[in-house]
Amino acid sequence: MAVVVQGKYSFEVFGLQNANRALMKKLAKVGVLTKKAVIEGALIIQRQSQKNTPVDTGNLKAGHFTVWDGGGISQASFTGKDASKRVNDHSVAVPHVQAMVSKSKVLHEAIVGVSAEYGIFVHEDTEQSDGVKFLERAVQTSIPAVVAVAVREEKKL
């Protein structure tokens, strides 16, 4: 459910595998996952990741996006002298990830990403003992909220 995007390339952050596995384990107990629940869950993770993101210019925080098959949210607002580069990176990254989702064989899938090419380096910051891990921590801390959404939506079926 989470990918960090760097320019034209996407990188899976390996620590996210464990966080995603924990989330999927909890969601497996829910039963039917609706598209609405998957999208809402991804947006919860995106908001938490943005809260966790360290801020220098604000562009890393602004470069978060969420896409799903048939849609997405990508309201980036970049500032500073490199704003035009950030806009360009974002305009490349979001469609690239959108295409990945469109080709996916998963019934309902959403991807939370970051368009700044330096995002992976901030996420995995080796100067801090465990790195910043803004996206990984977002998945881990959002599990109860995402499961609650899935349960609520399943009850509506």
Long-range contacts of 38-43 (CB under 8 A, 24+ apart): 38/68, 38/108, 38/109, 38/110, 39/66, 39/68, 39/71, 39/110, 40/149, 40/153, 41/1, 41/110, 41/142, 41/145, 41/146, 41/149, 41/150, 42/1, 42/66, 42/68, 42/110, 42/111, 42/112, 43/73
pLDDT digits 0-9 by tens, 8-64: 344 445 457 777 788 888 887 787 778 889 899 999 999 999 999 998 889 999 999
Task: Give 6's pLDDT tier (boundaries 50, 70, 90).
Answer: very low
pLDDT digits 0-9 by tens, 84-127: 999 988 998 889 888 888 888 888 888 898 988 888 888 888 67
